[in-house]
Amino acid sequence: MALIPRSSRTLLRGLSRSSVPSNYSRTLSTSTTRWQASVYESPFKGQTTTTKIPDFSKYRASSSPNSNLVFQYFMVGTMGAITAAGAKATVQEYCANNQNYPDFLVNMSASADVLAMAKVEVDLAAIPEGKNVLIKWRGKPVFIRHRTQAEIEEAKSVDWEKLRDPQKDEDRATNPEWLVMLGVCTHLGCVPIGEAGDYGGWFCPCHGSHYDISGRIRKGPAPMNLEIPTYTFPQETSLVIG
C-alpha cells in the first residue's frame, strides 16, 4: 500500500480540525444523549387488559330484560296471599270445631315458667297512701304510686289538651288511687326520681325532664309520658302486672 506523503497528511489533519470544533462536538453528543433519554418508552405500554366482563345477553328475555318482572311479582304476591288466607281459615275452623288450639300452635307458645316470670303480683296493702314503690318487671323498673285524694284532684285539674303528650289522667290510671307506670324516662332511658321536680311527680336527673303526679311530661327534653304497662286488679288489695 502506497504511503500518503507527509504534506498531504498535514493538510487533511488541518481540515478536520477546522471543520468541526471540539466544543461543538461535545455539545452535540450530549444533546443527542439527552434526547434519546427523554423519548424512552416502556416495553409494557400498549398491552391489552386482561379483565374480561362476562356477557349474559343470551339469557335476557326476547323483548326486554324486565319484561316479565311485573308478572313475576304479581304471581308471587298472589300465591302468598292465597296461602296465608288458607292457613288462617284452616286454623280458625279447627279452633271453632274443637274449642282448642292445634298442637303445633301450643308447642310454639311460651312455657309455663316463662309466662310466670312475665307477670308480677304486688300486695297493695303494704303500700301506704302517698308513697311510691319500685319493683322490677321483665328487667325494667316499675313505679307504683298510692296517690292521695289531693294528688288525684290535681292530676285531673290539668288542661291535658295543651300538654306535649296529651293524655287524660283517667286513661293513665284505671283506679285513681293507684298509678302504675314504667320507671324509664322516654328521653334516653334513665330512671327518674320520685317525689321530685317542678310538678311534684318525677324528675329525671340525666337531662332534666319533669313529670307530674300522673307521669305526664311537663318540662324537659322527654318527648312522651311515662309508659303505662298492662296490669289488672284481681282483688282489691292485689295488683298483677303483665
Q: In what order do the strands lie in the sheet with 120-123?
A: 120-123, 238-241, 231-235
Report the SS3 class of residue 169: helix
Is 210 an active-site residue?
A: no
Backbone angles phi, psi at 89, to 5 degrees: -65, -40
Q: Report the C-alpha gap between 183 and 143 in whole angstroms.
A: 6
| DSSP class of 101 | -
Torsion of CA 151, 168, 229, 153, to 10 degrees: 10
Nearest Cα neighbor of 208 from 188, 230, 228, 227 is 188
- C-alpha cell at position 230: 298492662
Q: Report the C-alpha gap between 70 and 78 in whole angstroms.
A: 12
Contact 225, 216 (CB under 8 A): yes
Contact 109, 103 (CB under 8 A): no
Residue ranges of the alpha helices (H) in 20-68?
A: 22-38
Angle (CA) 232-233-237 rounded to 5° is 150
Catalytic, out of 146, 187, 207, 210? 207
Catalytic residues: 207
